[in-house]
Amino acid sequence: MQKARNLAKELKNYLLNEEEGFFIAKKPLKTKKAETITKKDTAQKIVPKVKTVVKDKAVALSELIEQIKKCTRCELGKTRIKAVPGEGNINTKLMFIGEGPGFDEDRQGRPFVGRAGQLLDKIIVAMGFKREEVFIANMVKCHPMKEPNNPEKHGNDRAPNQEEIALCRRYIEEQIALISPDFIVALGSVAGRSLIKDVPTFSAIRGKIYDLNLTYATPAKPIKILATFHPAALLRNPAWKKDAWADLKVLLAAMGREHKSQTNEKQG
Ligand code: SF4
């Protein structure tokens, strides 16, 4: 009985909170523990090989970051303060990809650090992860501005245009291929339509799982991708948060993490 009460309380945290609290959870969703290698002989055979691969991946990603920091391939490179290559766990199963850096990101050189980033952090926790367990990046690495001559102006952000996305595309594709996550969440219409399918309306692709197809890079294994609303859009339209959570539950189900959240809903 007590267990059922606790589960109902937990469900309330996740599904009944309003406004930004919709994604605020005191504890992440409980999930199945990743399989661990327990046999010593198996570990001895596998670990050295994994270490080599991880080191190569880390080196390749670091080199890519250095290229991005020096890049002036598109006009955005002339007006940025700092390039924002992306950050996180390079061995993650889950990547989040937005459209491009904004005002705060341009100054810090880190992705999703403004208000939208704070909401993304809450979304990640609600999904049962910590920010440092996932990798976060953008389609373009430099700040697109409506008025590039006025970089101190707030509200100066804009979505990257098709040319900027095309010129920057190799970087995000190489990051995806090197990190090789199992799943990607495309945040917003720009990332979703660039990485999944360029359809007239974002709603046509939102909330569905697709196989990722890249143009310039070949990941070591198949990757699944799902698009949902960008956190900045959720800040402007809080009513969409429930739809975003419904999208993310589709992804969690595909990841095999649906059990606990579905149990909670039934008992709530
Ligand atoms: S947005 Fe991409 S292509 Fe353009 S300058 Fe920055 S890193 Fe280079």
- The reported pLDDT for the residue numbered 34 is 35
Average pLDDT over residues 89-93: 98
Q: Residue 80 is inside which H or E element, if any?
A: none
Ligand 1 contacts CB of residue 68 (under 6 A): yes
Closest listed residue to residue 97, CA positions, set 202, 36, 181, 164:
181
pLDDT digits 0-9 by tens, 6-65:
544 443 443 334 333 444 444 444 444 433 333 343 333 333 444 445 569 999 999 999
Q: What are the pLDDT digits (tens) for 121-169?
A: 999 999 999 999 999 999 999 999 999 999 898 889 999 999 999 999 9
- CA 183 – CA 242 distance, rounded (Å): 21
Q: Is 244 close to ligand 1, i.e. is its CB under 6 Å away?
A: no
Give me the domains of the chain, ranges plus CATH numbers.
2-267 (3.40.470.10)
Could you tell me if the CB of 95 is within 6 A of ligand 1? no
> Poorest-confidence range of 39-43, 64-68, 180-184?
39-43
pTM: 0.80
Atom of ligand 1 nearest to the CA of 78: 5
- Which mutation among 76, 143, 173 tests ligand 1's pocket best, with the greatest number of atoms within 8 A of CB? 76
Establish whether residue 11 lines the binding site of ligand 1, counting it when its CB lies within 6 angstroms of any ligand atom.
Answer: no
73 Cβ below 6 A of ligand 1: yes
